[in-house]
Structure 1
């Protein structure tokens, strides 16, 4: 590798982007506490908006509510935490080498707790009859959908989302200022296509919070709940491995890369 190429890689690695959260050490609050709090707040808002949108019977409206919300959250908080708000995204970004595993664990906990709080806000705001009718915004499988194939569907949908995150926000050769829109579009189109079948969760925190909070009011809150953990997390792994093995820039790629990472 030439000196100019090495200098370019160093320069690119120092450039701030929406997902790479390996900030220079300027204190524990800025590098640990603040990003984790941002993930907590973002997950709370995302789950609240997503569950509230379940009052609308139009799939397009539900999809846009989720997609536009994630885009806005990334624009607002992405510079602080990377704007994951989803354990599956955090898993994929960790495998991509863009965040340290210890911080990823903090993100995971914050996202799950934020999702619980967002779901609790929905329970507080909605009248009881509407809450029960909408099942608190929790996910459920479509009529006749086999749980095994539902997991497969969630794997594909989540792979699309996480791969979009990696290529638009992590990869130094393809990252774009339009990444928030690209990620929001990925969420929206996934829900438009997979919503009637699996709920198109792509996000264990989005599934877990409403299931827990609605447990006392709605029967079957945890029916097939594993679908929305196994599918999205597998999708995150697949996207991360695809990126590191085949599509990452040469300095990050495991196969035919310039150097091991």
Structure 2
């Protein structure tokens, strides 16, 4: 008896976190709550700011390097702009909307039952609208350079096949969404809650690292809204030609990351089977 109490106390000491219940599948009741609309505004503004800063950086780099390839921020600076803005914006909006700023992240969290279907769809709409407005601001402020230097649109780089580009987007998004799941895991949050930047920092850093690897292949999207906004504003054939890659790739990568984290690392299937077997024996 004493041994059982000791083991129970040890178990309670070790598990200092609580897994939240799964989100409702549809979440119709959320439509009556102001918190949902506040979150949608946060996602819209965050994605707008993300596109404005990052696409302006891309256009500015291309303009500065036209005369001198060594001039401007370079590819390293472009990667930092994407990763740095994600870090800043996730830090600012995580407590309001979760700081998704990416339809692929939202899709992965929906598959893991972290958000409802209605919230996920509305988030994606807000993110795409924010991306369009952010790219529109860049065009408004840098019209000539925007039109002449590609509009920040995502496309497969010369010398690479569509299959290579798709694979790069899948793996890149897997890294991002896997990092999101790990950084927001209840087990980790219980231990790191006293350091608020430990969630946004690895997420932003993962975006930075993926950009270093895949800018030469696709310019790096790993975010359908990032590709959709410039495509709408630039509105040229090359902006739409490869658009499907920047939706299919990130969504597949997000689905794979959700499955890996939930069913392999967190072993939800094994836990469910174990619970079922113990209940059947009782």
- 2:18 corresponds in structure 1 to 12
Give the equivalent residue in structure 1 for 2:156: 141
Larger radius of gyration: 2
Q: How far 1:197 sits from its partner (Å)?
A: 0.4
Larger relative helix fraction: 2
Unaligned 5+ runs, structure 2 = 1-7, 21-26, 63-73, 277-282
Verify: 1:76 aligned to 2:92, yes or no. yes
Whether 2:208 is the aligned partner of 1:202: answer: no
Distance 2:11 2:129 in 1: 43
**Mapped pair 1:187 → 2:207:** yes
**Deviation sequence 1:200-256 (CA, Å, 0-9, x none):** 1000000001011001xx5522121111011001001100111111112x6xx2234
Where 1:82 maps in the other structure, the secondary structure is: coil
Aligned residues: 242
1:96, 1:243 within 8 Å by CA — same for their partners in 2?
A: no
Q: 1:28 to 1:114 in 2, by over 3 A?
A: same
CA distance in 2, matches of 1:68, 1:158: 17
Taking structure 1 as the reference length, the TM-score comes to 0.85
RMSD: 2.5
Query: 2: distance between equivalents of 1:5 and 1:29?
Result: 39
Query: Residue 238 of structure 2: SS of its match in structure 1?
Result: coil
Structure 1: unaligned runs, 5 residues or longer: 15-21
Q: TM-score, normalised by structure 2?
A: 0.79
Equivalent position SS for 2:241: coil
Equivalents in 2 of 1:41, 1:4: separation in Å?
46
- The 8 Å contact of residues 171 and 253 in structure 2, kept in 1 or not, is answered as yes
